[in-house]
Amino acid sequence: MEIVITISSGFLLLVGSFLCISGGIGLLRFPDFYTRMHAVGVTDTLGAGMILAGLMILSTDFLVFAKLVMILLFTLLIGPTTSHVLAKAAFHNGVIPKGSNNLKQTKEKESTSSII
């Protein structure tokens, strides 16, 4: 039993850390704002979730477990919301995703029409 717990939590922690690191690499390497945000937003939610799950398996105290569950719920709510808000704010302020010419044209039309 002991070894199952250790191995499974170790696996979860490892995968979670890997996801967080890959999100960090994505943040540095991806070409434009939206892909970068996507890399961090998605991997951070899953990575943090997996790390928390790994810690939950390890925890023996019920209070610690409950606190970890609360942190997990909080991250699950907050992570996607912040990504959403960031993307929305960026789009609102005219950041165009790379390689989407259609969107660019419509956006330009919109802005010219609104100025007139």
Footprint (CB under 8 A) of other proteins, residues 82-111: 84-85, 94, 111
Q: Is 22 in the site for other proteins (CB under 8 A)?
A: no
CB-CB contact of 9 with 54 (8 Å):
yes
Which is closer to other proteins, CB of 22 or CB of 111?
Answer: 111
Task: Supply angle C-alpha 37, 32, 82, rounded to 5.
Answer: 20
Least Å distance, CB 115 to other proteins, is 8
| Three-state DSSP state, 31 | coil
**DSSP of 48-110:** HHHHHHHHHHH--SHHHHHHHHHHHHHHHHHHHHHHHHHHHHHHHTTPPPTT-HHHHHHHHHH
Q: Is 5 in the site for other proteins (CB under 8 A)?
A: no
What whole-number distance in Å separates Cα of residue 26 and Cα of residue 24? 5
Q: Build a one-symbol-per-residue string for 40-79: x at contacts with other proteins by CB under 8 A, - elsewhere.
A: ----------------------------------x--xx-
- Number of residues in contact with other proteins, rule: CB under 8 A? 9
> For binding to other proteins (CB under 8 A), which residues are involved?
74, 77-78, 81, 84-85, 94, 111, 114
